[in-house]
Amino acid sequence: MKLEIEESQPLADRIRPKSLDEFVGQGHIRNRIEAFTKSKRLPSLLLFGPPGCGKSTLAMLLARLTGKKSLRLSAPEAGLTALRKQLPGHDILILDELHRFSKAQQDFFLPILESGEITLLATTTENPSFSVTRQLLSRLHVLRLRTLNREELISVAHRGTEALSLELEEESYALLASMAGGDARTLLNLIEYTAELPKDKRSVEVLRESLPEIVVRGDRDSDSHYELASALIKSIRGSDPDAALYYLACLLESGEDPRFVTRRLIISASEDVGLGDPQALPLALACHQAVEAIGMPEGFIPMAETTVYLALAPKSNATYAAYRTAQKEVRENGPKPVPLHLRNATTSLQREWGYGRGYLYPHNFPKAWADQDYLPNELRGRKFYHPKDQGEEPRLLAWLKQFKRKS
C-alpha cells in the first residue's frame, strides 16, 4: 500500500530532499543556511525566489532540523480564522505564498513574532519590498534564492529518472534542462511526461518534437513582468535589436497584454530616441493603433518592426533631460512671473499695465524669427535643452543657431 501511495505522488514530492546534503543549488547562501542550522534558535525567515527553485523544500528541511513541531500551509488556502485554530501546539509555521495575504492580514504575525511564540518560515515569488509590509519585513531574515542553472537541473533530472527507473541519453537531459527554464518542478513534470512515452520515442530528436509546448509563466503583478519590460526598454536604449526582440518575445509568450508593450514602445520612442529620429514616435503610435486593430497573435508583427526600428534608430534623450532640468528649476525655485510682453492683453486695464507691450510677432519677420527674450528675467540666458550630436538634432540645432545673437 505504501508503494502505491508513493507512486501516486507527483515526482517532485517523491524525490524531495530529506537533508541539506541532498538539496541542490543556492550555493550563494549556503553559508547563511549552515549558520541558521547551528544557531540555538532558528530565526523567522522569508525565502524569496522564482517558482521551482527550492523555497518550500528549504523551509521544510530547516524546520525538520530543529526537531520542533511544524505546520505547513499555503496563504491562498489559509484564512486567518482557520490559521488561529491550527497554530496552537506548533512551534514553526511554514507559510507558502506570503504575498497572497493582504497587508492587513500580514499584521496578524507581528505580535506572535515579536513574542517569539512562533517561528515563521515564509516563501514568496514576489519582491518582498513591495509585497510584504515594512513592519513584518523588519522581523524576518530575507534569503533570496536563484533559478537553478543547467548543471543543477541535470543533477535533479538524474534523481528523477532514477526514481522512475527511466533511462535517457545525456543529450536528452540537457534538452529537458533547457526547457525547464530554471524550474526544478517543471523539469520533473517533463520527466514524468517522458516516462509515459514508448522507449523508441525518448531519443533527443524525437523528444524535441514530442514534449508539450512550453507555457511561459507570466504574472502581471510579479517581478518578472517589470523585469522583462525593463530589459526590453534597456535593450532598445542600448541599440541591441536581438536582445530587444528576445525580451519582446518573452513578454508576449507569457501572455502579456500587448497594449502594455506598445505603451512602453511609445515611451521609449520619445524618451530614448526623441529628436535623434523624430519619426520614431509616429511609428510607435502607429504600432499601438495597428495592434488595437488586428489583435493577437498577428500583433507581434508591427511590434517586432517597431522594436527593431527603435533599437536601430539614433538615440537622444535631450528633450527628456531638458524637461527634467526645467522641472527641477520650477520645483526648487517656483515658477517665475511671465514677462509682460508675453502676456495677453485682453482688457484695457491689462493694456494699461503693459501686457503684450513690445511683443514681436515672429511671422512678421524673415524666416519667422524675432530677436526677443521669452524666459522670465531671472532666468534669462538659462539653457535647459542641450542637443546631442547625432540623428536629426545637429540639423535642428544648425537651423536655430543661424538666428542666435552673437555675444
Q: Which three cell numbers stand for residue 215?
A: 507555457
Q: Which domain holds residue 278?
A: 223-312
- Tell me the β-bridge partners of 46: 122, 142
Last residue of a domain, one of 167, 184, 210: 210
Q: Which residue bears the cell 543529450?
A: 171
Cα separation of 355 and 17, whole Å?
81
Band of residue 220 on the pLDDT scale cut at 50, 70, 90: very low
Last residue of a domain, one of 144, 165, 192: 144
Give the pLDDT score at 6: 54
Is residue 184 a contact partner of residue 14, using CB atoms and an 8 Å limit? Answer: no
Q: Which three cell numbers stand for residue 343?
A: 502676456
pLDDT in tens, 251-297: 888 778 889 999 999 999 999 999 999 999 999 999 999 999 998 88
Q: Is the pLDDT of residue 370 over 90?
A: no
Percent of the chain with pLDDT over 70: 94
HSE at residue 186, side-chain half, CA atoms within 13 A, is 23
The answer to whether residue 388 sits within a structural domain is no
| Backbone φ/ψ region at 204: left (φ over 0), alpha (ψ -120 to 50), beta | alpha
| Backbone φ/ψ region at 240: left (φ over 0), alpha (ψ -120 to 50), beta | beta
Give the pLDDT score at 231: 93
Alpha helix locations (H) across 196-237?
A: 204-210, 223-237
Range from 11-25, 83-97, 217-231, 274-288 carrying the lowest mean pLDDT: 217-231
Residue 186 and residue 275 in one domain: no
Residue 73 and residue 105 in one domain: yes
Residue 306 and residue 236 in one domain: yes
Residue 96 and residue 134 in one domain: yes
- CA angle 187–244–259, rounded 5-degree value: 90
Number of domains in the chain: 3
Residue 137 and residue 171 in one domain: no
The answer to whether residue 318 sits within a structural domain is no
pLDDT in tens, 192-201: 888 888 887 7
Last residue of a domain, one of 144, 170, 194: 144
pLDDT in tens, 166-192: 888 888 888 888 888 788 888 898 888
| Residue 27 to residues 30, 34, 160, 379, Cα–Cα distance (Å) | 5, 11, 21, 57
Question: Which of 141, 99, 135, 148 has its CA nearest to residue 120?
Answer: 141
CATH number at residue 101: 3.40.50.300
CATH number at residue 184: 1.10.8
Mean pLDDT of 27-34: 90
Cα separation of 268 and 274, whole Å?
8
Residue 178 and residue 108 in one domain: no
Residue 177 and residue 239 in one domain: no
Residue 124 and residue 172 in one domain: no
Q: Which residue bears the cell 506570503?
A: 98
- Count of CB atoms situated within 10 Å of the CB of 316: 23
DSSP 264-320: HHHHHIIIIIGGGSTTHHHHHHHHHHHHHHH-TTTTHHHHHHHHHHHHHS----HHH
Residue 59 and residue 131 in one domain: yes
Cα Rg for the chain, rounded, in angstroms? 31
Give the pLDDT score at 324: 93
Residue 95 and residue 173 in one domain: no
Mean pLDDT of 108-136: 88
CATH number at residue 295: 1.20.272.10
Cα separation of 202 and 404, whole Å?
75
Residue 154 and residue 113 in one domain: no
Give the pLDDT score at 245: 95
Q: For the chain, what is the mean pLDDT?
A: 86
The answer to whether residue 390 sits within a structural domain is no
Residue 67 and residue 159 in one domain: no
Give the pLDDT score at 278: 93
